[in-house]
Amino acid sequence: MFRIRKVTDDIYPMNKEAMGQVLDILRQRFPDIKEEKILLIPEQLRNPLKYQFRTILLVADNFNGKVMGLALLLHAPDLDFCYLDYLASRSKQQISGVGGALYERCREEASLLGSCGIFMECLPDDPSICNEETHLNQNAARLKFYERYGARPIANTLYETPVNPGDTCPPYLVLDPLDAASLPAAKKTRSIVNAILRRKYKDYCPEDYIQKVAASVTDDPVQLRAYKYLIHPKQTAVSGKTADTGLSLKTGEQAKTNGKIAITVNDRHSIHHVKEVGYVEAPVRISAILKSIENSGLFHTLEVKKFPEKHIREVHSNQLVDFLKQSETTYPKGNSVYPYVFPIRNANRKPKDVNVLPGYFCIDTFTPIHHNVWKAATGAVNCALSCANHLVANGGLTYALVRPPGHHAESNVFGGFCYLNSAAVAAGYLAKYGKVAILDIDYHIGNGQQEIFYRRSDVLTLSIHGNPSTTYPYFCGFKTEKGEGEGLGFNHNYPLNEGIEASEYRQTLANALKTISNYKPSWLVICLGLDTAKGDPTGSFYFSTKDFEKNGRMIGSLKIPTLVVQEGGYLTRTLGANAVNFFKGLHESFYPKKHNHLKLQNK
Catalytic residues: 408
Among 356, 355, 406, which residue's Cα sits nearest to residue 382? 406
Measured CA to CA, the distance from residue 479 to residue 279 in angstroms comes to 30
Measured CA to CA, the distance from residue 400 to residue 427 in angstroms comes to 13
Alpha helix stretches (DSSP H) within 453-539:
502-519
DSSP symbols for 411-423: SS-BBTTBSS-HH
Alpha helix stretches (DSSP H) within 436-532:
447-452, 502-519
What are the residues facing 230 on neighbouring strands? none
- Please state whether beta strands 118-122 and 81-89 pair in parallel, antiparallel, or not at all (unpaired): parallel
Measured CA to CA, the distance from residue 194 to residue 166 in angstroms comes to 23
Residue 356: partners with Cβ closer than 8 Å, 6 or more residues away: 340, 341
Measured CA to CA, the distance from residue 140 to residue 229 in angstroms comes to 9
Residue 245: partners with Cβ closer than 8 Å, 6 or more residues away: 29, 69, 87, 88, 89, 92, 99
- Please state whether beta strands 54-61 and 67-76 pair in parallel, antiparallel, or not at all (unpaired): antiparallel
Q: In the chain, what are the helix, strand and coil shares in percent, each to the nearest 5? A: 35, 15, 45
Q: Are 438 and 564 in contact (CB under 8 A)?
A: no
Amino acid at 459: V
CB burial string 398-416: b at 16+ within 10 A, e below: bbbbbbbbbbbbbbbbbbb
DSSP symbols for 303-371: ------THHHHTTS-HHHHHHHHHHHHHS-TT--B------SS-TTS--S-TTTTHHHHBSSSS--B-T
Measured CA to CA, the distance from residue 372 to residue 314 in angstroms comes to 22
- Please state whether beta strands 67-76 and 81-89 pair in parallel, antiparallel, or not at all (unpaired): antiparallel
Gyration radius of the chain's alpha carbons: 28
Length reported for the chain: 603
Phi first, then psi: give them for residue 439, nearest 5 degrees.
-115, 115
